[in-house]
Each structure stands twice: as structure tokens, then as C-alpha cells.
Amino acid sequence: MNEEDRSLDYYATLGQKEFQQGSRSKWAKTRLKVDLGKIPPVLTPPLIDLYSLPFGSFSIQFKFELLKPYLSRDDNQFYIVDNPIVRDKVFRFPMVRPTAWKGALRHALWQLGSQEEDESIKRLFGVANDDEPQEGNSGRLYFYPSFFTQTSMEVINPHNREKRIGKNPILIESVPIGAKATFTLLYTPLDRINKDKAETRRQILADLQRVADGLKAMFTMYGFGAKTSSGFGLARTTVKDGTLVVKLPDIAFPQAEAATVQKPDDEYLKYLDESGRIQPAFAGSGGVGFMSNSEYKKTGKQSGGGSLSEFRKFRQWYREHSEQWQASLKAATPETTYPTFSFEQFDQLKESLRQAGGDV
């Protein structure tokens, strides 16, 4: 048992109310803001390739920052507080499940006036049919989980209305303001394979516009997660590395100014693989998964590296520029030469679709 999760300590003292409260209070004070470190490679956002997907498929991906804390309710019944945040089962990073994204986006579109019987809503989210399951479908939208690297604690203190004093504070685990994660959505019109392309194109552009409207509303107005009616679960209107890729060869997006990519110096290439990620030989227990200075002194040069000074400069470059470099390498592959639009705000995404013919 460690300081991160004292649930065993807490439940071992059932019946000892004073000790329980002290243990919980002590734990909560250490959890006001916790940085869980770097997300492991297996949980990093996917790089979606539309090459083998049907005509009209599209993907949207961007990094967002919380404007308000994110709350959710895990199904863990054995935890020191009654309201733990949802976490992945293996690495224990806070997350937004794909089903939660789907529900939040559908709710946002409902708030904007979309009805359950709207054809676009049926296409996007599917139709349930309990009587004849074979007639139902899951829709064209597929969501990926989003992972955070920070947690915090929120306290709700119900008051006695007569005495006007707090009763029993309720601890709620949360993801704090300023935490960042990546949202990824994939749209695949599998039901339109080998059908009229003109009608398929019309549906796709209409669905794209509706998704763009819904994303802006979900992230900036209606929220996602628990207690959204109280203002939780909102994100800033500005995003980072926003990308829309559409498998429609004839669509034309307004040209956006390309981001400047800081290429690695030639001497840094020996530390990187073809995808721009660190070579396994130089991985270790240091920052961002690299060898620490002491580890590098022992085996760095034997692994093909240069001087320690060079390696330290390379680590600094990697921290600041590796994500852009990896994205540029991926974009240069022939499979991904589809119309692409980069955006930094939700309004830019909506406007680009309007100019491209998506305002239908």
C-alpha cells in the first residue's frame, strides 16, 4: 500500500470513526494537486490512417485544456473516498471513456435543438432496437479515450439549513483546471459503401457540420462528465494541434499558415527511430522516458550515443519539439495525402467547413 491509495488502511478501520476521518483527511491533503507523470506510449493518442477506410471517412483530433474541473464517477467500490475519478484499469490515469464522449456530444446536439428522429442524428449515433437487435446499428462515430496526467480534490459541504453550518464535507476526486488531454474522433460511413457518391458526399458534409457544431457546444457550453449543470467539465475555446482529415479528394479547405517545425540537428538523429520517437537503447528512468545522466554515463556511448552534453541538449529539444516533428513525419507518408485542415479554435473548424461546402 502507498500514499496514493490508502483505501486498504481506511477500510481496515471500519468501526473506528475517528481514525477513519483522520486517515481520509490526511490522504486528501496530499491529493490537492497530483501530477502523475508522462502517459505511457500504449496510451498515447492514436495516429489514424484513413487509407483502408471507406470514401468519406474523416478524423478530428486536438489537444484541449480544462477551463473547469472534470468530474466523473468510477465503478471502484473499494476506495478511500466515495466519489473517485474514472481511471484506466492498468496504469490508473484519469480518463474520459469513449462512451462518455458519445453521450456528451449527443446531449450537446440535443441542447442545440437536434431531435432523436433527425436522420443525421441516427446516422451519427446509431439506432437501438431491443425487439430486433439485427436492425439496430452503432452509428458512424467512433470515439477514443482521453487521458489526463493530473488529479485534484473538490469539496462540497452541505449546510444545515437551520443552524447554517456545514455538516459532513463530501470529497470528490477531480481533474483540475489547466489539465490537458487529447480528443480523437473517427467517422466511417460503412453503410454507404458502393452507393451513390453524390448522396454520400452530401450526407458527409452535413454530418461534418453537425459534429463541428456539437463539439464546440460540448467543450465550451454544456460540458462533459458529471455535474455539468453546475459548470464542471468545460474546456477553453482555444485548442492545440487541431487537425481535421477528410477522405474526400474534391473538398478544398482554406489554406492555413503552416506551423513551423523545429527539425532535429543531424547529430540528434541517432537517438530517434523512423517515426521520430526515442530509440529503445536510450530509454531509461529519466525525464520523458530517457536515460538519466548517470545511466547515460554508464551505457550511453556504448549504445551509439555522443557526449553527455549533446545528449542533454537533445533531451531538451525532444521535450519542446518532438510532437510536432513526429506529426510532420506522419503527414509526409503517402497514405495520408487527404485534404487536411489545421485549426486552433472551434470557430475556425466551423468556418472552414462552411467555406468548403459543408454548410448544408
Does 237 lie in the same domain as 314? no
Of residues 327 and 202, more confidence is placed in: 202
- Mean residue pLDDT of the chain comes to 81
Does 104 lie in the same domain as 241? yes
Band of pLDDT at residue 220, cut at 50, 70 and 90: very high
For range 89-97, the mean pLDDT: 91
Q: Considering the entire predicted model, what is its pTM?
A: 0.71
Does 293 lie in the same domain as 221? no
Does 270 lie in the same domain as 172? no
Encoded amino acid at 276, one letter: G
SS3 7: helix
Does 101 lie in the same domain as 68? yes
Does 312 lie in the same domain as 234? no
Taking only the tens place, the pLDDT of each residue in 157-213 is 767 777 777 667 778 888 999 999 999 999 999 999 999 989 999 999 999 999 999
pLDDT at 128 over 90: no
Encoded amino acid at 203, one letter: Q
Residue 12 lies in a domain: no
pLDDT at 150 over 60: yes
- What range does the domain containing 275 cover? 266-331
Please tell me the total number of residues recorded for the chain in this structure.
360
Does 50 lie in the same domain as 81? yes
Taking only the tens place, the pLDDT of each residue in 12-58 is 444 445 445 555 556 555 555 667 788 888 888 888 889 899 999 99
Does 286 lie in the same domain as 191? no
Encoded amino acid at 68, one letter: K
pLDDT at position 102 is 96
Residue 1 lies in a domain: no
Band of pLDDT at residue 343, cut at 50, 70 and 90: confident
